[in-house]
Amino acid sequence: MDDKRAQTFQALSNFIEQQRAILARTETDIARLTSLKRDISAQHNLEGSTIIDYSQLKFSGQSLGEQCVESLLLPKDIDWSLFNSRDAGPIRDLATNIRSTHVRRNQPSKTQMSPLSDLQRLVKDARKAILDPVLSQLLPLSDNEDSSEEYVDPETLLKEREREKIRDLKKRRIKCGLTVPLRARPVNGVFIRRDLDDESADVDIADVSPAVVVKEESSAGEAMLVGEKPKRSSKRSRVGEHVEEPPARATKRSQKPCKPSEDTVMFEAPPTPTPAPSKPKPETYKQAWTVSEQHLLERLLEEIPDGERNRWQKISQAMNGRRTPRQVASRVQKYFEKLKRFGIDPTGKASVEK
């Protein structure tokens, strides 16, 4: 084992020395080519024509093709089995570092690292003195360059906004969200509530003082107070008693607002119904089905066949309510459609394949 290792080490050392010699010879040949190019350029400038001696292209006793073939030859005495158990991590890290350095070197920098030149300083100072004061007075440009909107004067835009506010205030004065007009007309009739039972048979007409219909000039939104209508009585014993007539109605100036009595009924708007609270969503809403849930669903589809009543509810209860019946039905429908796309009849197979 030690002999193979020493032989491999010696072969690698010889290969490295050979590559170093080829590198030195290549550098010498490059210098020779540079001098030859310089001589040919000088000869062309003097004589007007160039004569190339191809014997000069042979360097170091070998042609360029022979040198390329020699550089690609690998040593034969290397035992590659010695490298099987070695970790290639350092070599991989070295290659990664070389690639990243090469990419970073070729990528241009977004910021200038060198100091500004005289021309750049001149342009920068001119921008600060000429362009920046003008740009600060202009409106910011729109991000959408394709928009063809006309320029609007800021003062005109401000006046238009003030007009819109005034129009909104006028609308709020005229229409405040009510269906009745601002000054309601006096009503000569009596409002009768149909939602109450008729109790006229239990009331004596002699015991009830005749109520007066109260009419007020009120603004929109105030409740209207209306007296109850005298009710009939089935008792005929007190029909002959004298009933005083109500006094004459006073004028509008001398009339004072009366307080609502016990017999006065106040009509109020019915309460607005409150919306019913929305049904809370399940915990598994928009959650992917796990593998265990899929297998349990396949087994339950076999135990609870198609055609059974409340099939999805039973499957949901068998899954301890983790999935709602709607989720179970949607899951089964999607997988049945997938089976049909693959040419499998879902009716002949009870389980759902994932």
| Boundaries of domain holding 9 | 2-83
141-161 average pLDDT score = 67
Q: What is the pLDDT of residue 126?
A: 94
- Boundary-marking domain end, from 33, 53, 83: 83
Instruction: Record the pTM.
Output: 0.24
92 φ, ψ (degrees, to nearest 5): -65, -40
Q: List residues bridging with 226 in a β-sheet.
A: 265
Q: What is the pLDDT of residue 120?
A: 92
Q: Answer whether residue 107 is part of any domain.
A: no
Q: 318 vs 6, 114, 285, 325, 350, CA distance in Å?
A: 72, 73, 18, 11, 17
Q: Among all chains, which residue has been given the structure tokens 């090469």?
A: 102
Do the beta carbons of residue 234 and residue 201 sit within 8 Å?
Answer: yes
Q: List residues bridging with 225 in a β-sheet.
A: 266
Distance CA 214, CA 186 (A): 10
Q: Answer whether residue 213 is part of any domain.
A: no
Q: What is the pLDDT of residues 106-143, one digit of tens each?
A: 888 788 888 989 999 999 999 999 988 888 887 665 55
Distance CA 274, CA 201 (A): 38
- Boundary-marking domain end, from 83, 113, 133: 83
Q: Answer whether residue 20 is part of any domain.
A: yes
Q: What is the pLDDT of residues 50-98, one digit of tens each?
A: 566 656 555 555 666 666 666 677 777 777 777 776 677 888 899 999 9
Q: Answer whether residue 318 is part of any domain.
A: yes
Query: Which comes out higher in pLDDT, residue 34 or 264?
Result: 34
- Boundary-marking domain end, from 83, 110, 145: 83
Report the share of the chain in percent with pLDDT over 70. 55
Q: Answer whether residue 79 is part of any domain.
A: yes
Tell me the CATH number at 328.
1.10.10
Query: Residue 226 in 3-state DSSP?
Result: strand
Question: Count of domains in the chain?
Answer: 2
Query: Residue 24 in 3-state DSSP?
Result: helix
Query: Residue 175 in 3-state DSSP?
Result: coil
